[in-house]
Structure 1
Amino acid sequence: MKYLHPAVKQGKKYLNPVPTSVGTGSLWGVLWKYMTNKAETTPKRKLGPFTTDATIYAQPPVSGLRITWVGHSSLLIEVDGLRLLTDPVWSSRASFSAFIGPKRFFPAPLDLNKLPPLDAIIISHDHYDHLDKHVIPHFASSNVPFYCSIGVGQYLQAWGIQKERITEMNWMDKATIRNSCTITALPARHFSGRSLTNRFETLWSSFAIRTAAHNIYYGADSGWYEGFTEIGEAFGPFDVTMLEVGAYNRDWADIHMGPDNAVMAHQALKGILMMPIHWGTFNLALHPWNEPVQRLLELSLAKGIPLFLPQPGVPTEVAKYSSQWWE
């Protein structure tokens, strides 16, 4: 296959599956766009409050698959007796600073101290809205293993996670969780870096998660490319695809999909149910904050794609469902 192979480096930098532009433009040009933007990028009315009834976790999901959306790309996935946490971000800002940068529209609905015991934490890449320096130390005294893209382990170790608990994965690497679940790191079209000087120096990934009864896809961040078709052919069909629909812009078409391309990716992946992620939590783009879901609803109706849209913080059995929480 053309795209399904381990990531390669050119010098210090990892390469995307296809030529890719980060597309930020000049700093002043970007600042001007943000300064003159009139869209409601942050909700005018306060959202929530959203809370999680953590007592629900004492009972396993009837269907074998239940997801709690903490916001953005942070998901507590309960699948066939396992609990997996993806890209946990609880801080009020997705930023290097507690005082500036994109701020959450609502506090994380699930208290970190009320998280049920976890079987694994998956980290897709090192961007601030996916890797939270203030959350990782919470797990330092636990024994939960981390599965992350190559290079991300250095941050986890610096923040208190023992090296033996970290499995760094290249694209196409597989790992088994408790002998019952296989996760495979897969290509994505994105980039990495926690500063302007170390972009592309750690890897970024998507993940296929398979148990005996379920097969799901966590897309993390990616622009559209034909590799989704190969992933669908090799690893699909998927019971549910979790795909980013927010924080898109014409200048970022190579690295973020938006609703239209996410729907195309869902179909290429041979997905049955689609769960939009990476939206409705942080102001990361110039579009109205609720535009991604409104556009997705239009597309799903036109293309006959069932959606899974739970309310933030509510543990929800995975099935066709829309909570309409944003309204």
Structure 2
Amino acid sequence: MRITWWGHATTTIEANGTRLLTDPVLTSRIAHLRRRRGPAPLPEAGECDAVLISHMHADHLHLTSLPLVAPDAALVVPRGAAKLIHADSGPAFSDRCIEVAPGNQVRIGSLDITTVTANHDGRRLPWSGHSGPAVGYRVEGAPSVWFAGDTDLYDELAAEAGPVDLALVPVGGWGPSLGPGHLDAVRAAEAVRRVRAKIAVPVHFGTFWPIGMDWVKPELFLPPGDKFKAAVDPEVRVELLEPGESIEVLA
């Protein structure tokens, strides 16, 4: 298996000839946020068999990035997101949507994917009436992968997402505050403990920041990755990647 982190929550999971792309943000800007570390992902980032969308927030369901994804890729999205995609991008995109909710399963190529709960607000905020559940995904395989999307800890996390070989876990955010429904570095380490991951790749930090606020709470930009590594059980292998960097994971 090959894991590539493109920045923020965007990763490629490649195994057994199948490529999955999570929460693609393939540009240098999201509204008032700009990419401060690494260039925009290479065009190859959009090459995938399916996109896994965790929720409707604009930094996860980034409508501007969808045209940069392979035109025949399935779009696995939370229930309710297809209507939003149809309204913005038309049937060429909404017809490719597979809507899911926690507990649903879908097979993409050689991989089985189970939708799991995320403790996070799934609404398309702030000026949209579109809503649906926030979700994560468990990719069954050798090794298995939990992509958390955005979440906080919740009671059923261990049973739904674990045990798992590798966790793609959010450890921070994109601004000078981190509200409810998110994991900071310490809570992310607890999430990894609960799902009993052997390998952890911290994501959702050190990529985007509000324009004009470069020096506001810089300790929330890059340090969450190191803080997470320090907080995780020493037996867990933590891979701190740079945007665009990949790792190979053996079964």
After TM superposition, the score normalised by the length of structure 2 is 0.86
**What is the distance in 1 between the residues matched to 2:17 and 2:236?**
28
Residues 219-251 of structure 1: CA deviation (Å, up to 9, x unaligned): 01001122212224xxx3211001100129998
**What is the distance in 1 between the residues matched to 2:33 and 2:80?**
25
Match of 1:205 in 2: 135
Structure 1 residue corresponding to 2:41, chosen from 88, 103, 110: 110
Q: Which of the pair has more CA radius of gyration?
A: 1
Report how far residue 310 of structure 1 moved: 2.3
Q: Which amino acid aligns with 2:98?
A: T
Between the two proteins, the alignment pairs up a number of residues equal to 242
CA contact (8 A) 2:80 2:130 kept: no
Match of 2:213 in 1: none
Structure 2 residue corresponding to 1:297, chosen from 229, 243, 251: 229
Higher strand content, 1 or 2? 2
Q: Which amino acid aligns with 2:117?
A: P
Q: Identity over the aligned pairs, expressed in percent?
A: 26
After TM superposition, the score normalised by the length of structure 1 is 0.67
The CA RMSD measured in Å over matched residues stands at 2.5
Residues 124-151 of structure 1: CA deviation (Å, up to 9, x unaligned): 1111211222111234x72111101111
Structure 2 residue corresponding to 1:243, chosen from 160, 164, 169: 169
**What is the distance in 2 between the residues matched to 1:145 and 1:277?**
23
CA contact (8 A) 1:109 1:313 kept: no
CA contact (8 A) 1:189 1:254 kept: no
Structure 2 residue corresponding to 1:155, chosen from 77, 84, 88: 84
Report how far residue 110 of structure 1 moved: 3.0
CA contact (8 A) 2:176 2:217 kept: no
Matched, 1:268 2:194: yes
Matched, 1:255 2:185: no
Match of 1:231 in 2: 160
Match of 1:316 in 2: 247
Q: Which amino acid aligns with 1:270?
A: R
**What is the distance in 2 between the residues matched to 1:251 and 1:129?**
16
Q: Which amino acid aligns with 2:226?
A: Q
Report how far residue 159 of structure 1 moved: 1.5
Runs of 5+ consecutive residues of structure 2 not aligned to the other structure: 211-215
Per the alignment, do residues 116 and 126 of structure 1 end up closer, same or farther by CA in structure 2, a change over 3 Å counting? closer
